Amino acid sequence: MKLSVIVIDDSGPEALARCLDSLKSSLRRLREVFQGAPPETLYEVLIRPAEQDVSPIRARAEAVAGCTGDVVAFLDSRYRVGLAWAVAMLEAHAKSDVVGGCVGLAPQSSVTPHAIYLWEYGHIVPPLPPGPVPPPEATRFAAGNISYKRNLLLHSAMGDYCSELEFHLTLASQGARFYRRVDATAEYVPPHLKSYLRERYRISLSQARRAGASRSALQRLLIAFFRAVALAPWLLANRVWRVLALKSHRRKLIPVLPWFLVFAGVQAAGEVIGYLLHQRTEAQISTSQLL
């Protein structure tokens, strides 16, 4: 089998260089395991620049058309992978359709990166059990550290979904097999705070606009109202509960809590505005409205 790695360049040249350096080491290990096989038959690497007016899931789906591998792995440029990553992603597809890796946090000295990490990945903090993953849990796979059989992507209209959560729910209902490899762990290097807030807002905005595309104006108004009232408190409670469930991270709850309040507000605002201003394009709705 051949591995196609699509790197989504969403964090600038420094992050991309760091990601590619780790990926090169992992692909070198892949060549060592499959000695004698020409590199071009083992893997290929494609870089897809992120675009402000294209949702993350659509950007990933559009990049698949240029792949020739049997397995397609998506890797965000803010991740650093370990030596075993490429081999693990490729080998696991002998008995699965979707393979997810864990996401750890690169060493950090300040509170803000920990807050971003726990907000985004508090539900999949290592260590996690390897092996087959049941459908409800499969929706938790990190979109930036995952691989699929290419045929699955070519016949599933991935780009039509609002998020990987919805996409994975559909795949699970169709009988796709999900598998977790702990040796496919990637280290997450959080972006700067301002960049993260802009990104979090933009993603929420995009998902709300796409989710509201098939709804009437009245339905969008009602959804926006309920989200304005209840979404931020629900998000905050959900993230706090996640941290409390992590024995190794409970002591970080008080320091990260102020940032959780900010993240909840930004994410909720993105969804509310996305439903209210459904007819406007994402490019026209500037993040400067909030930041």
Entry pTM: 0.88
User: Is residue 283 over pLDDT 70?
Assistant: no
User: Is residue 265 over pLDDT 80?
Assistant: yes
Q: What distance lies between CA 204 and its chain's CA centroid?
A: 13
Identify the CATH assignment for 3-188 out of 3.90.550.10, 3.90.380.10, 3.40.50.920, 3.40.1160.10. Answer: 3.90.550.10
Domain ranges within the chain, ordered by starting residue: 3-188, 193-289
The predicted-structure confidence for 209-227, as pLDDT tens digits, reads as follows 988 988 999 999 999 999 9
Map residue 221 onto helix, strand or coil.
Answer: helix
Among 104-118, 149-163, 245-259, 276-290, whose mean pLDDT is lowest? Answer: 276-290
Confidence bin at 278 (pLDDT 50/70/90): low
The predicted-structure confidence for 113-134, as pLDDT tens digits, reads as follows 999 999 999 988 888 899 999 8
| Backbone CA torsion sign across 187, 191, 196, 198 | negative
Mean pLDDT of the 127-146 span: 89
CB 253 within 8 A of CB 243: yes
The predicted-structure confidence for 35-71, as pLDDT tens digits, reads as follows 878 888 999 999 999 887 788 898 999 999 889 999 9
